[in-house]
């Protein structure tokens, strides 16, 4: 995904909710959760991210899958994570 596309996804109102949850669960300043920021650079432990994903699943009432073929890369950057969660929500909306 291009940086422009990722930034565009950030404008989705649901992205705000996703970032709120990540900030709350990881304790990282919301302003630092930029699309190109990596979890590694933000110093977010994997368990904290797992907890944040769990909270998102509860919040949106959806199962957020791990994509085996990408080896978890969808969780590597904030942009990738937001995109992955939004795509999951879009699939759910389409299935209803």
Partner 1 sequence: MKRRVAITGLGAISALGSGVPALLSAMQAGRTGIGPIRSIDTARLTVKIAAEIPDFEPEAHFDRRQLLALDRNAQLALVAAREAMADVDLTGLAPERGGVVMGAAMGQITVDAGYQSFYGEAARTLPPMTVPRGMPNAAASHLAMAFGLQGPCFATASACASASHAIGLAGQMVRSGMLDLAICGGSDASICVGYLKAWDALRVLSADACRPFSRDRSGLVIGEAAGILVLEEWDRAVARGATIHAEFLGFGMGADAGDLTAPSADGAERAMRAALADAGVAPEQVGYVNAHGTATRLNDRTETQALRAVFGDGIAVSSSKSMHGHCLNAAGGIEAVVTALALREQLLPPTLGFREADPECPLDCVPNEPRRAEISMALSNSFAFGGLNAVLALGRA
> Which CB sits closer to partner 1, 12 or 55?
55
CB of 54 to partner 1, least distance (A): 5
Measured from the Cβ of residue 13, the count of other Cβ atoms closer than 10 Å reads 6
Q: Smallest distance, Å, CB 62 to partner 1?
A: 8
x/- letters, 26..65, toward partner 1 (CB under 8 A): -x-------------------x--xx-xx--x-----x--
Closer of 32 and 54 to partner 1 (Cβ): 54
Residue 76 has what DSSP assignment?
S
1: contact with partner 1 by CB under 8 A: no
User: Is the alpha carbon torsion for 43, 48, 50, 52 positive or negative?
Assistant: negative
- Select from 5, 35, 30 the least CA-distant residue to 17: 30
Q: Alpha-carbon distance 7 to 59, whole Å?
A: 23
């Amino acid at each position: 995904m291009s940086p422009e596309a990722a930034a565009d996804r950030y404008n989705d109102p649901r992205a705000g909710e996703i970032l709120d949850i990540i900030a709350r669960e990881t304790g990282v300043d919301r302003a630092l959760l930029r699309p190109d920021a990596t979890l590694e650079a933000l110093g977010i432990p994997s368990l904290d991210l797992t907890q944040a994903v769990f909270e998102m699943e509860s919040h949106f009432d959806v199962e957020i899958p791990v994509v085996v073929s990408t080896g978890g890369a969808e969780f590597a950057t904030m942009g990738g994570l937001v995109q992955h969660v939004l795509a999951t929500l879009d699939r759910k909306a389409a299935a209803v």
